[in-house]
Amino acid sequence: MPIHGGSTAGTAAAGERGPSRRGLIRLAGTGLGLAALGAGAWGCGPVEEPAADATAPGRNGKNPSAGEAAPGDAFTTPPPGTAPGPLWQADAMAGALGAMDALAVAGDVVMVSGDPLTGRSLTTGKELWSREKVAVPGAKLLVAGGTLYLASARYDGDVVGLDPATGEETWRSRLGGKKYAQPRTIAVDERRVYVLAGILEADYSVEENVIAALDIASGKVVWQERRDKGTQEFGITAAVSGRHLVYTDFRENVTVRDTATGRQVWTKKIGRSNSERIAVHGGLVVVADGGRLRAFALADGTERWSLAADESYTRFHSPAVLDGVLYASDSAHVLRAVDPATGRERWRNAELLEVAYPWQFVTAGGNLYAATELDPKGGILAFDARTGKLRWTYNDGTGAVDKWYVAASGKRLAALHGKRLTALPAV
């Protein structure tokens, strides 16, 4: 029931003759070679990291292009092809374990899935709170209505809500006590938290599972439905849109349920197992199904449109709808902006072979930002949202072979890569 009532990419070594500044700008204009254009490529110094807290470089006001903010976050836009330097960097727990929602921002607080779970100021990098044993490994950080919802790390069948500003517990709900194995939060909206949980047999094994909705106001179970036999608790990706809860799984299904009753509206087989992000917009759900993007009507499952990749071996990844535009990349390193209602392309960028393909997107200040799959050619990419032109690539220079994650709040970006958390200006 409710409780209340690093361093940047290095410059050329001394004595080595690198490409000219004019030559780099020319390459940047073509969208090629930008993986080399981290902040260090333009003389921004390395960022040191004290063990106790974050470092904010450029605070002497001498280097605004490296991330210094004037009052009101009036960041200086860097030249074309030049990535901004980090505002600050800090150590982060390596607790993501590949989770889709390992990074979250609530107002000015940025949080990373791990143990301890820590909240930092996105503005200053200062640690605001730190709590051990509140997040299970790989926990999804789902925020709605100013509350962060997590499965209890005590493995007691509870779901808890934390205040992102303080880390304090403000909400708790029990799905069914000892009847169910540890629930996993999969989605949240303004009224309900949606969870999956295994049904415990007498010998404590789990053969079947339930999907349930918890009321945010009361903490009580609104509904719970046993899922079809043979379905799994893992590999679930979910999204909520009004009266529709949509999810995909490893069993090659797309399923829609009524958020008010839990009734299954429809389920449909797709061609490949899918644990990628899905996008819901305008009464449609868009999924990446191998070499096609497919849009289904939430109301009845009718396929409204399909967009095929250029080559048969190409696979789409994690679509997202932001500001009314669908963005999706594929394994051929082509990024598309698509009308989500019709599937028609608005623009494409096919000049990303020199960087890893994007898999997560956010928008801020009229620009599109993307996090890529793997280092060393990956990082945070900035695009002109109107044209798709690549503006810059930021890489932290660690060489860690980990996914990148990105989140945005106001005029700042939070970027997670391995054990490093970086704040960048959204310029």
- Residues 304 and 288: their CA atoms lie apart, in Å, by 14
Name the amino acid, one letter, at 131: R
Q: What is the pLDDT of residue 374?
A: 79
Q: Are 174 and 227 in contact (CB under 8 A)?
A: no
CA dihedral of 417, 418, 422, 424, whole degrees rounded to 10: -10
- Residues 65 and 392: their CA atoms lie apart, in Å, by 13
Q: What is the pLDDT of residue 177?
A: 63
Q: What is the pLDDT of residue 236?
A: 86
Give the residue from 181, 287, 160 showing the smallest Cα distance to 234. 181
Which tokens hold the place of 220?
């009580």
- Which helix (H) or strand (E) segment is 349 a member of? strand 345-349
63, burial (CB in 10 Å: exposed 0-12, middle 13-18, buried 19+): middle
- Residues 149 and 57: their CA atoms lie apart, in Å, by 33
- Residues 369 and 377: their CA atoms lie apart, in Å, by 16
Q: What predicted TM-score, i.e. pTM, was given to this entire model?
A: 0.82
- Residues 7 and 262: their CA atoms lie apart, in Å, by 49
Q: What does the angle CA 129 – CA 3 – CA 233 come to, to the nearest 5 degrees?
A: 80
Helix, strand or coil, per DSSP, at residue 425: strand
pLDDT digits (tens, 9 = 90+) for 120-156: 999 999 999 999 988 887 788 999 999 999 988 887 7
CA 44 to chain centre: 27
310, burial (CB in 10 Å: exposed 0-12, middle 13-18, buried 19+): exposed
The low-confidence residues of the chain, meaning pLDDT below 70, are 1-72, 94-99, 176-178, 230, 232-233, 272-275
Which tokens hold the place of 276?
């990628």
Biggest distance spanned by C-alpha atoms of the chain: 72
Edge-to-edge strand ranges of the sheet holding 192-200: 184-188, 192-200, 206-215, 221-226
Q: What is the pLDDT of residue 178?
A: 65
Buried b (16+ CB within 10 A) or exposed e, 165-199: eebeeebebbbeeeebbbbbbbbbbebbbbbbbbb
pLDDT digits (tens, 9 = 90+) for 193-224: 999 888 877 787 777 888 999 999 999 999 99
Q: How many CB atoms lie within 10 A of CB 27?
A: 17
10, burial (CB in 10 Å: exposed 0-12, middle 13-18, buried 19+): exposed
